[in-house]
Amino acid sequence: MPELPEVETIRTNLEPKLLGRRFEDVEILDSRLTRPVDPAEVAAELTGERVAAVDRRGKYLIVRFESGLVLLIHLRMTGKLAYSKNGASAAPPHLRAVVRLDDGSDVTYRDVRRFGTWLVLGSDELEPYLAARLGIEPLGPGFSGRDLSERLGRRRGPVKGVLLDQRTLAGVGNIYADEALWRARIDPRRPADELQPPEIGALHRGLRRALEAGIARQGATLRDYRTPDGEAGGMQHEFKVYGRGGEPCSRCGTPIEKTRVAGRGTWFCPACQR
């Protein structure tokens, strides 16, 4: 599932391809994508717009246009953006939208589970929309151990659940939460407000290192995720715990266990995560 590193990889890939291009034609084939807004209305709004920037906030991809209009894309679990230089030929399975650019290339959006969303906002609507949903950027310069400490200290639930709450940190999902907690040697079930300062420091570092490793590997491909050029990421080969139940912990050799925390499948080392 695309989390921060996957969305950042997509952003980096698409930015040079989209910058300065005009959306010449937009087709939206699934009304769920823009619900409750009529897809024809969204397609009409986007047609003719010229791309000024491709940004990311948390797991959202942000396409900013010269007019000030913004397209906010969330891939949820199975959304995929693909770029094709000479235009896509046959329609791939689960195609939900196609954007034809003014240089003959196109961007297609596919989504098996249809959870992903495209939302068009005015320039003044974007910040309030994101601010209501997202906390601090974990890879941003402003994210300190103190920030993390403040956010965890207010919450009694299991630390993993708090990390998954996008209002705590923007962009951490099930995979990178498990990986960061392993790096920090913290049991995912621990109440967030009981973590000690050294543990919070370790978690701060663990989060940044896990996310940075994900970006360096172009994300993790388990099933669906691909870069816009169709390439798989490599981070799945670096997982320390995620999906590795029964395999020895690379730090202490104890078999990795699987449990359920905050309603999510959770992998951890029962010996070195305390």
Partner DNA sequence: AGGTGGACCCGAACGC
Partner DNA sequence: TGCGTTCGGGTCCACC
Instruction: Tell which residue, 209, 182, 175, 179, has the closest CA to residue 59.
Output: 175
Active site residue 2: yes
Q: 261 - beta bridge partners?
A: 264
12 CB-near residues (< 8 Å, 6+ apart): none
Supply the minimum distance, in Å, between the C-beta of residue 162 and DNA.
6
Q: Which is nearer to DNA, 82 or 177 (CB)?
A: 177
Supply the minimum distance, in Å, between the C-beta of residue 171 and DNA.
8
Q: Which is nearer to DNA, 3 or 199 (CB)?
A: 3
Q: Which is nearer to DNA, 197 or 265 (CB)?
A: 265
- Cα–Cα distance for residue pair 15/75, rounded to 1 Å: 17
Active site residue 3: yes
Structure tokens at 117: 């969303």
Q: 111 - beta bridge partners?
A: 79
Residue with token string 């960061």: 180
Structure tokens at 243: 């999906």
- Cα–chain-centroid distance for residue 97? 20
Supply the minimum distance, in Å, between the C-beta of residue 94 and DNA.
7
Q: Which is nearer to DNA, 100 or 244 (CB)?
A: 244
First-to-last C-alpha distance (Å) of the chain: 27
Supply the minimum distance, in Å, between the C-beta of residue 236 and DNA.
13
Supply the minimum distance, in Å, between the C-beta of residue 172 and DNA.
8
CB neighbours (10 Å) of residue 127? 12
The contact set with DNA (CB under 7 A) reads: 1, 3, 32, 58-59, 74, 76-77, 94, 112-115, 133, 154-158, 161-162, 164, 166, 173-175, 192, 223, 262-265
57 three-state secondary structure: strand
Instruction: Tell which residue, 172, 163, 265, has the closest CA to residue 212.
Output: 172
Catalytic residue (one of 2, 5, 39, 138): 2
Burial class (CB in 10 A: 0-12, 13-18, 19+), 245: middle
Catalytic residue (one of 11, 59, 96, 183): 59
- Cα–Cα distance for residue pair 145/204, rounded to 1 Å: 6
Q: Which is nearer to DNA, 161 or 219 (CB)?
A: 161
Catalytic site positions: 2-3, 59, 264
